[in-house]
Amino acid sequence: HSKDKYQGNDVAGVVTGLAWTSVGGDILFIETSLSKGKGKLTLTGNLGDVMKESAVIALAYLKAHSEMIGLTPEVFNNWDIHVHVPEGATPKDGPSAGITMLTALASAFTQRKVKNKLAMTGEITLRGRVLPVGGIKEKILAAKRADITEIILSEDNRKDILEINENYLKGVTFHYVKNMMEVIDLALTNQKVSKAIKVA
Amino acid sequence: HSKDKYQGNDVAGVVTGLAWTSVGGDILFIETSLSKGKGKLTLTGNLGDVMKESAVIALAYLKAHSEMIGLTPEVFNNWDIHVHVPEGATPKDGPSAGITMLTALASAFTQRKVKNKLAMTGEITLRGRVLPVGGIKEKILAAKRADITEIILSEDNRKDILEINENYLKGVTFHYVKNMMEVIDLALTNQKVSKAIKVA
Amino acid sequence: HSKDKYQGNDVAGVVTGLAWTSVGGDILFIETSLSKGKGKLTLTGNLGDVMKESAVIALAYLKAHSEMIGLTPEVFNNWDIHVHVPEGATPKDGPSAGITMLTALASAFTQRKVKNKLAMTGEITLRGRVLPVGGIKEKILAAKRADITEIILSEDNRKDILEINENYLKGVTFHYVKNMMEVIDLALTNQKVSKAIKVA
Amino acid sequence: HSKDKYQGNDVAGVVTGLAWTSVGGDILFIETSLSKGKGKLTLTGNLGDVMKESAVIALAYLKAHSEMIGLTPEVFNNWDIHVHVPEGATPKDGPSAGITMLTALASAFTQRKVKNKLAMTGEITLRGRVLPVGGIKEKILAAKRADITEIILSEDNRKDILEINENYLKGVTFHYVKNMMEVIDLALTNQKVSKAIKVA
Amino acid sequence: HSKDKYQGNDVAGVVTGLAWTSVGGDILFIETSLSKGKGKLTLTGNLGDVMKESAVIALAYLKAHSEMIGLTPEVFNNWDIHVHVPEGATPKDGPSAGITMLTALASAFTQRKVKNKLAMTGEITLRGRVLPVGGIKEKILAAKRADITEIILSEDNRKDILEINENYLKGVTFHYVKNMMEVIDLALTNQKVSKAIKVA
Amino acid sequence: HSKDKYQGNDVAGVVTGLAWTSVGGDILFIETSLSKGKGKLTLTGNLGDVMKESAVIALAYLKAHSEMIGLTPEVFNNWDIHVHVPEGATPKDGPSAGITMLTALASAFTQRKVKNKLAMTGEITLRGRVLPVGGIKEKILAAKRADITEIILSEDNRKDILEINENYLKGVTFHYVKNMMEVIDLALTNQKVSKAIKVA
Ligand SMILES: [Ca+2]
Ligand SMILES: [Ca+2]
Ligand SMILES: [Ca+2]
Ligand SMILES: [Ca+2]
Ligand SMILES: [Ca+2]
Ligand SMILES: [Ca+2]
Ligand SMILES: [Ca+2]
Ligand SMILES: [Ca+2]
Ligand SMILES: [Ca+2]
Ligand SMILES: [Ca+2]
Ligand SMILES: [Ca+2]
Ligand SMILES: [Ca+2]
């Protein structure tokens, strides 16, 4: 199976994450789609329970802090949300896609464009913290191979980067964050996507 | 067990897919039926979770892009949808029926006739991409045996066709696609089926 | 365990099927009962998932083609439906009771009498096709032993009958069908059962 | 564990059945209780799926033939029904308690007293037939030990009684039935229990 | 793990039971709490299915015999009920907590104080009988150790007490019961707890 | 994996607990978030059934004793509650987080600040008792390492502390409690958090 490449930032709600599998690191995509509804959350992509919980936590956090992304809490009750992680043949689990899911949901609800060639990995918590995750070295190699130039990590993963030979890090900028709002500030541009839908 | 033959395109919502089983390739049929209702989705045919997710993704995509097939999103709330994959004795799973399910649903909701002697295989994503799938060689042989003359594949499966001896490919036209809208454009004719029901 | 005998056609919604078990062929009965309600489907008789799906497909087909049996689609929303397959100690599964379930439901909703001494076996699909099933030889022997004189099979099971010694087939008439409407036409008489309830 | 004794017929909805366990035959009790409600059915007593289905079938049959016990079908929508089989430490399964459940429900809804010192065993079907069950010899011995004097069996279990030494049968009257209505006619007296509640 | 002690009768809905575990007998507590609601029953404490059924049976019995404890059946629809059995680390199952659960629910709904230093063990049935349970010797020893002075048992457990050396029984009064109403009469005082809430 | 540090008390609904894992003691965080709703409880963090029950019990207790924290029972019906325990990769179970969950919920609903550098461990019961838990020595060491200075334990865990060498206990104050209200009184300050939301 060949490895994936970065695929642009034209669509709202699609964010690039970093995954660590039995055959090494890879990038993955979180895709989010909104349709008029009552707040139902659908999760597909052969996801395990812990990965599903990441989406539930991300959504709860955005609801509780909706004003920080310029929305009212009511907006979340007017849309059904579908989050998909492609490549259904691969079972996926673990908490490391948390910040990627958070960013995908925030982009979908604001229709703001995600920063170009950006990827990320990190667990999220309900109070807004970003926790470190494993497999950093493999994930960084995969990101470079996929033409990623900026990566968001937990501040607590900084030490893992310091252990990597500098040659492998060339051409990639790292952002270390403690809180989930920092992720959104770093990841979302102020520009709306073309063909933005009217969410609020 | 004898292999299946292509069975015509008289009925809306029925599309021919390509499957890869432990005993080689085969064609399969996705059958879709609509009945007045509230948008409930029923899936039968001894399907695994990943294959069921394909139908959920296809339906979500069509709802979110309903205008591209000339419908309003509300239409999807007025019909119950049943998707069946015949041969209940055979367990079926995996994401490769994605574009076949998409086409079946699009045909059912538009009542447009599916192109004659067409088959397809490919995974779908929520943002509209068509991903490559495995077992291409076996699937192509099965398609030829079943009198298929046109096949839709992911652009990323082109390389698998190039590896097949040209003699095996005679009489079959291949369409390589990147996006799900290309599939619908290729697969659905502009002609309605006879006995079309009034959906919208 | 002694084998079952044919048990008459006095009751609407009861149809004789042919089953293939580890101890040879046998006949089985599909029993259907309607009660005023909202369209709920209850399935009993120690049935596996695939056999349950047969009932769901049969019901969906009848709803979608209600006019062919002289009903409106709304009728199906006014009755709760219970389908039972006797002998609860025996687990039952597989798709081969499909046409038997279809006939039982059609008889229950039309209150038309089922043809005398008729049995059947065949898988159904959502678009109305009748697919071949296995164990034909054993099923035919069981049908003869049970005083059955007419049997409906899929056209694609004709070859299985041709392989059976003619002596075993004496006294039984075979009907080979391609479509589910042919089954209903063959199986249901134009006579209502005595004590017919008012369904429509 | 000591064996159970017959416990009288003072309470509506309580009927004595015959069970066949790994340690021989025993009697069991089906207890039914009604409370004002909307027709919900609760089943307790460590029951397996097939035994639960017996209660569902018995209830469906009574609804469909309510006039035969002097009730309207609507009555069944006005009460919640609880069926319990005592001795929760013992898992119970199989279809043989069918006619016992039928009688218990019929007694509960009519408040008619069950015949004195009566026990029964037999599978039920949705169209009203009573099917034979296994373990007859052990069940008869248990019934005698428990002071039972009348037993209802399926007509198709008559042959099992004929094989038992007559000495074991002294003091017990056997009733062989084909249909479920015969069971109700045999098992329910025309007398209401004392403290009968007003059901209809 | 040290064994538990009796903990008083100040709170309505809390009753002391006797349990038999792999490490000998112990006492346990059934705790019941009511909150305004619609009759929902919540069960916690790492309980197995059979133990959960005991609570369902106890509640059904109280509903059906509400007048015997001075209540109307409607009261049960106006409160949500939570039954908890402490020590979540220990899985608990079996029917022997039946009369303890019955008493706990009766105390909660009447707010009557439970008799001082009383414990109990016995299975319940839907028609109101109290069945014998196992492990009596170990349970009695645990009760004495826990400062219990009165114990309610099924009449059918009387023989188990007779087999115990009299020295072990000193200081404990035994009550043998056949029916569930006897349990309530024995276990509940006519005094309301202090801080009684207004239930009816 | 490095051990966690105490993380402050700026946010309402976040409380520090003590956990005992296969690799020694650790601190954990219970995070609670409220959003306008109808009382739905969502639990995330890879929690086992017993740990989930702790949250259910804590919430039931607070509802039943709402006046003790200055609230009306109705308040609990106006908010959806999400409780999360970070580090999704680690399965968590057992009852020992009970008092931590209780405190987290009480803080969330009152918006009162949790005492600084406080941690706790103890099982809760529905009637309000605090039960002892295991792994005390390992938990105390973890608490010291994490800069905790006050710890709440069950009175029945006092004996476990007495067995620990005094040198290990320097700088930590222990509070032994019997009842859940004592926990709330000890753990919650009278000060509201900054950015308190209006709950009641
Ligand atoms: Ca990949
Ligand atoms: Ca990620
Ligand atoms: Ca095939
Ligand atoms: Ca396919
Ligand atoms: Ca049979
Ligand atoms: Ca059949
Ligand atoms: Ca017994
Ligand atoms: Ca029985
Ligand atoms: Ca204990
Ligand atoms: Ca007990
Ligand atoms: Ca940790
Ligand atoms: Ca804790």
Span B31-53, pLDDT tens digits: 999 999 999 999 999 999 999 99
3-state DSSP call for residue A185? helix
Q: Calculate mean pLDDT across residues E21-30.
A: 90
Residue F3 lies inside a defined structural domain of this protein: no
According to the model, what pLDDT value does residue A4 have? 84
Q: B195 catalytic, yes or no? A: no
The rounded distance, in Å, linking the Cα atoms of A155 and A132 is 7
The beta-carbon neighbor of D64 closest among C35, C45, C83 is: C35
Q: Which residue in D7, D81, D94, D2 sits closest to D44, CA to CA?
A: D81
CA F2, F4, F8 angle in degrees (round to 5)?
155
Q: What is the b/e burial string over B108-120, where b = at least 16 CB atoms within 10 angstroms of the residue's CB? A: bbbbbbbbebbbb
CA F153, F155, F161 angle in degrees (round to 5)?
65
According to the model, what pLDDT value does residue A2 have? 60
According to the model, what pLDDT value does residue D24 have? 87
Q: Which two tokens stand for residue D50?
A: 């097939």
Catalytic residue among C115, C117, C139, C154: C139
Instruction: Report yes or no: B109 and B34 within 8 Å, Cβ to Cβ.
Output: yes
Is residue D68's pLDDT more than 60? yes
Q: Which two tokens stand for residue C75?
A: 């009728």
Residue D198 lies inside a defined structural domain of this protein: no
Question: Considering chain F, what is the average pLDDT of its residues?
Answer: 95
Instruction: Report yes or no: E144 and E30 within 8 Å, Cβ to Cβ.
Output: no
CA of A7 to the centre of ligand 1 (A): 12
Partners of residue F20 on adjacent β-strands:
F25
Would strands D24-36 and D79-84 be described as parallel, antiparallel, or unpaired?
antiparallel
Q: Which two tokens stand for residue C31?
A: 């029993």
Q: Which residue in D30, D3, D12 sits closest to D141, CA to CA?
A: D3
Q: Which two tokens stand for residue B165?
A: 């001896």
According to the model, what pLDDT value does residue E78 have? 96
Partners of residue A81 on adjacent β-strands:
A34, A41
Q: Which residue in E77, E184, E180, E72 sits closest to E129, CA to CA?
A: E180
Instruction: Report yes or no: E114 and E108 within 8 Å, Cβ to Cβ.
Output: no
Span C9-31, pLDDT tens digits: 999 999 999 999 888 899 999 99
Is residue E2's pLDDT more than 70? no
Span D2-36, pLDDT tens digits: 678 898 899 999 999 999 988 889 999 999 999 99
Neighbours of F10 (CB within 10 A): 12
Q: Cα distance from B37 to chain C (closest Cα, Å)? A: 10
According to the model, what pLDDT value does residue F24 have? 87
Q: Calculate mean pLDDT across residues A40-58.
A: 98
Inter-chain Cβ pairs, chain D and chain E, closer than 8 A: 58
Residue C100 lies inside a defined structural domain of this protein: yes
State whether F125 and E46 contact (CB < 8 Å): no
Give the CATH number, domain containing residue C82.
Answer: 3.30.230.10
Residue C200 lies inside a defined structural domain of this protein: no
The beta-carbon neighbor of C64 closest among B35, B44, B88 is: B35
Q: How many domains does chain A have?
A: 1
According to the model, what pLDDT value does residue E4 have? 84
According to the model, what pLDDT value does residue D1 have? 52
**Displacement of CA D113 from its chain's centroid (Å):** 13
Q: Calculate mean pLDDT across residues C79-85.
A: 97
Tokens 């905790």, residue located: F148
Q: Which two tokens stand for residue D154?
A: 């399926």
Instruction: Report yes or no: B97 and B56 within 8 Å, Cβ to Cβ.
Output: no
Q: Which residue in D52, D8, D3, D61 sits closest to D27, CA to CA?
A: D3
Is residue A1's pLDDT more than 60? no
Is residue B1's pLDDT more than 60? no
Neighbours of B173 (CB within 10 A): 12
The rounded distance, in Å, linking the Cα atoms of D119 and D138 is 14
Task: Please give the single-letter amino acid code of residue B197.
Answer: I
Q: Write the CA distances from A159 to A132, A154, A163, integer angstroms.
A: 10, 10, 7
Instruction: Report yes or no: C123 and C133 within 8 Å, Cβ to Cβ.
Output: yes
Tell me which residue range forms the domain holding E75.
14-188
* Torsions phi, psi for F175 (to 5 deg): -115, 120
Instruction: Report yes or no: E27 and E6 within 8 Å, Cβ to Cβ.
Output: yes
CA of F133 to the centre of ligand 12 (A): 9
Instruction: Report yes or no: B108 and B33 within 8 Å, Cβ to Cβ.
Output: yes
The rounded distance, in Å, linking the Cα atoms of F18 and F153 is 10
Residue B153 lies inside a defined structural domain of this protein: yes
CA of C100 to the centre of ligand 6 (A): 5
State whether B35 and C95 contact (CB < 8 Å): no
Residue B3 lies inside a defined structural domain of this protein: no
Residue A156 lies inside a defined structural domain of this protein: yes
**Displacement of CA A99 from its chain's centroid (Å):** 5
According to the model, what pLDDT value does residue A175 have? 98
The rounded distance, in Å, linking the Cα atoms of A49 and F49 is 14
Tokens 């409160």, residue located: E79
Percent above pLDDT 70 for chain D = 98
The beta-carbon neighbor of F44 closest among A53, A94, A127 is: A53
Question: Considering chain A, what is the average pLDDT of its residues?
Answer: 95
Q: Which residues contact F108 (CB under 8 A, 6 or more apart)?
A: F12, F13, F32, F33, F34, F81, F199
Q: Which two tokens stand for residue E43?
A: 């069960």
The rounded distance, in Å, linking the Cα atoms of E40 and E145 is 36
Q: Calculate mean pLDDT across residues A38-51.
A: 97
Count of alpha carbons within 13 angstroms of residue E171, beta-carbon side: 12
Is residue A163's pLDDT more than 70? yes
What is the complex's ipTM, to 2 decimals? Answer: 0.94
- Which residue from D minimizes the CA distance to C46? D50
Q: Write the CA distances from F161 to C122, D10, F139, F171, F173, integer angstroms.
A: 73, 61, 11, 14, 11
Instruction: Report yes or no: C150 and C118 within 8 Å, Cβ to Cβ.
Output: yes
- Return the partners of chain D (3 or more C-beta pairs < 8 Å): C, E
Q: Write the CA distances from C193 to A155, C112, D126, F99, integer angstroms.
A: 78, 6, 17, 68
Indicate the pLDDT class of residue E44, thresholds 50, 70 and 90. very high
The beta-carbon neighbor of C88 closest among D63, D123, D129 is: D123
Q: Which residue has the higher pLDDT, A106 or F3?
A: A106
Is residue C61's pLDDT more than 80? yes
Q: Provide the residue count of chain B.
A: 200
Residue E127 lies inside a defined structural domain of this protein: yes
The rounded distance, in Å, linking the Cα atoms of B101 and B108 is 10
Three-class DSSP labels, E77-140? HCEEEEEECCCCCCCECCCCCHHHHHHHHHHHHHCEEECCCEEECCEECCCCEEECCCCHHHHH
- Return the partners of chain A (3 or more C-beta pairs < 8 Å): B, F
The rounded distance, in Å, linking the Cα atoms of A45 and A40 is 17
Which residue blocks in chain E are alpha helix, DSSP H?
Answer: 49-64, 98-110, 136-145, 158-162, 180-187
Question: Considering chain D, what is the average pLDDT of its residues?
Answer: 95
Q: B96 catalytic, yes or no? A: yes
Percent above pLDDT 90 for chain B = 92
Q: Cα distance from F13 to chain A (closest Cα, Å)? A: 9
Residues of E with CB under 8 A from a CB of F: 7, 11, 13-14, 29, 31-36, 42, 44-46, 82, 84, 86-89
Q: What is the b/e burial string over D48-60, where b = at least 16 CB atoms within 10 angstroms of the residue's CB? A: eebbbbbbbbbbb
Q: Calculate mean pLDDT across residues C187-191.
A: 98
In chain C, what residues touch B89 (CB-CB under 8 Å)?
Answer: 50, 94-95, 123
Q: Which two tokens stand for residue A10?
A: 């034209």
Span E134-192, pLDDT tens digits: 999 999 999 999 999 999 999 999 999 999 999 999 999 999 999 999 999 999 999 99
Span F30-49, pLDDT tens digits: 999 999 999 999 999 999 99
Span D99-146, pLDDT tens digits: 999 999 999 999 999 999 999 999 999 999 999 999 999 999 999 999
- Return the partners of chain E (3 or more C-beta pairs < 8 Å): D, F
Indicate the pLDDT class of residue F2, thresholds 50, 70 and 90. low
According to the model, what pLDDT value does residue C2 have? 61
Which of A121-130, C132-141, D85-94, F21-30 is predicted with the least confidence, judged by mean pLDDT?
F21-30
In chain D, what residues touch C35 (CB-CB under 8 Å)?
Answer: 60, 63-64, 73
State whether D84 and E126 contact (CB < 8 Å): yes
The rounded distance, in Å, linking the Cα atoms of A43 and A31 is 10
In chain B, what residues touch C50 (CB-CB under 8 Å)?
Answer: 46, 88-89
Tokens 């002690």, residue located: E5
